[in-house]
Amino acid sequence: MVNRSDDPLLVVTDLRVAYSHAIVALQGVSLAVGRGEIVSLLGRNGSGKTTLLRALTGLLPYHDGRIVDGEVRLAGTSVSTMSASGIVSAGVAQVMEGRRIFAELTVDENLSAGAVTLRDRRQVASNRDAVFSLFPFLADRKADQAGYLSGGEQQMLAIGRAMMSSPDLLILDEPSLGLAPMVVTRIRDIVTEINERGATVLLVEQNAAMALSISDYGYILSAGQVAKEGPGRELESDPRVRELYLGAALGTSHG
């Protein structure tokens, strides 16, 4: 177990985000992700999870949003005003909600697109090998147009693409959304394996049971604020958490 107080990789302090200068989507969120941890971020639709991820990864400008106040620090350096590409270079990769693979590009080109921030070709080649060892089917289908992969395969391509930049912090937004239970289990195992290979993981999920079962720590967002936080196991067994924030999702996937 990681000591959470000891030099976390990601620190978010009192973050406030507004869209189009009017709607306040995040009203002072603070959280930390320690090195080597899997931290999950839970909450219902509209609770601010995706907004928080956009703020962490520099994508707010694509949605007319901006950080009004507060700070995001990665390994001690502020990234609040960095561009999306700057943040990737700084070591953060993300798997966006809805996978967002480049359907018109081949599988291999999708992986190359994930490695644009790397200068060292050998590094790119070894990352590609690592992705293929994680997802052997991608190697067999690397010349195929990515749009022809199944939903689960596209999700794995999206994860592989994110791993191509050798991130210190991997952010996943709803990786299990819309996938069959067997595939969800597979995604969970992959997230665990990626974490064991050295990446810190921030996992946003609606499938709270899946997320908490592999998380060291969890935060529950509600109406743009942290409503509750605690070690994964603690949140998992808290009846109030189950009732108030996680709905039925927790009960069903435990059986």
Residues that bind other proteins (CB under 8 A): 57-59, 62, 83-85, 88-89, 93-94, 96, 98, 100-105, 109, 112-114, 116-117, 147, 151, 154, 161-162, 165
Least distance (Å) between residue 67 CB and other proteins: 16
Report whether 208 contacts 42 (CB < 8 A): yes
Pairing label, strands 38-42, 200-205? parallel
For residue 90, give the H/E element and its range.
none
Please report which helix (H) or strand (E) contains residue 171, including its range.
strand 169-173
Given the complex with other proteins, which of 148 and 252 has the nearer CB atom?
148
C-alpha 116: how far from chain center: 19
Positive or negative, the Cα torsion across 12, 13, 19, 21?
negative
**Closer to other proteins by Cβ: residue 121 or 240:** 121
- Residue 116 vs 180, nearer CB to other proteins: 116
67 touches 34 (CB < 8 A): no
- For residue 136, the minimal CB distance to other proteins (Å) is 22
- Cβ-based nearer residue to other proteins, 161 or 228: 161
Cα 145 to Cα 84: distance, rounded to the nearest angstrom: 26
- Minimum Å gap between C-beta 179 and other proteins is 14
User: Could you tell me the CA-to-CA distances from 131 to 24, 32, 169 in Å, in that order?
Assistant: 39, 28, 16
Question: Minimal distance in Å, beta carbon 119 to other proteins?
Answer: 10
For residues 146 and 106, is the Cβ–Cβ distance under 8 A? yes
Nearer to other proteins among residue 147 and residue 251 (C-beta): 147
Strand partners, 23: 19
Judged by CB, which is closer to other proteins: 104, or 140?
Answer: 104
The position carrying tokens 């810190």 is 200
Residue 146 is given by DSSP the state: G
Q: Tell the smallest beta-carbon distance from residue 6 to other proteins (Å).
A: 29
CB of 65 vs other proteins, minimal distance in Å: 12
Please state the closest distance from residue 154 (CB atom) to other proteins, in A: 7
Eight-class DSSP state of 130: H
> Which CB, 51 or 94, lies closer to other proteins?
94
